[in-house]
Amino acid sequence: MASSTTEQGAAGTSQGFPTEHPHIERRPGVCGGSPVIRGTRITVRHIAVQHKGGAGVQEMLETYPHLQASWVHDAISYYLDHHDEIEREIEANRIEAVLARTGGVMDDKGVVRFSPGKAGDE
């Protein structure tokens, strides 16, 4: 169980923008403004990908022991309520989309190389 400092501290000082989901917020400059679990940098998108892949809440809590079950459930609920938005974020963050935006090329060993002047030019 997280302490009230963990639960409130980071979120309370981050200038986060609350959503209609009590454990989800948006913070400018954090994860590109994507919705995150309050007081963390764990995006709803990240939880949604795991959920879609068949991971249960308990499995996610084992991976991220600093989270609480209600926070993960709220992230899944946010994903379901904002399905199209989160699906667009998932698609935009697939490796193929990121490489296309940045001019990167991945070789058969998984090494990514960028053309000079392209990496970070977004």
pLDDT, tens digit, for every residue of 85-120? Answer: 999 999 998 888 888 889 999 999 989 998 876 555
- Domain 4-114 is in which class? mainly alpha
Walk along the chain (122 residues) in steps of 10 and give the mean pLDDT of each run: 40 71 94 94 97 98 97 98 96 88 91 74 51
Rg (CA), the chain: 16
- Domain boundaries in the chain? 4-114
Using CB atoms within 10 Å of the CB of residue 71, give its burial: 0 to 12 exposed, 13 to 18 middle, 19+ buried.
Answer: buried
d(CA 44, CA 98): 19
What 8-state DSSP symbol labels residue 43? B
The model carries a pTM of 0.74
d(CA 59, CA 50): 9
Q: Which residues contact 21 (CB under 8 A, 6 or more apart)?
A: 74, 75, 77, 78, 81
d(CA 47, CA 37): 9
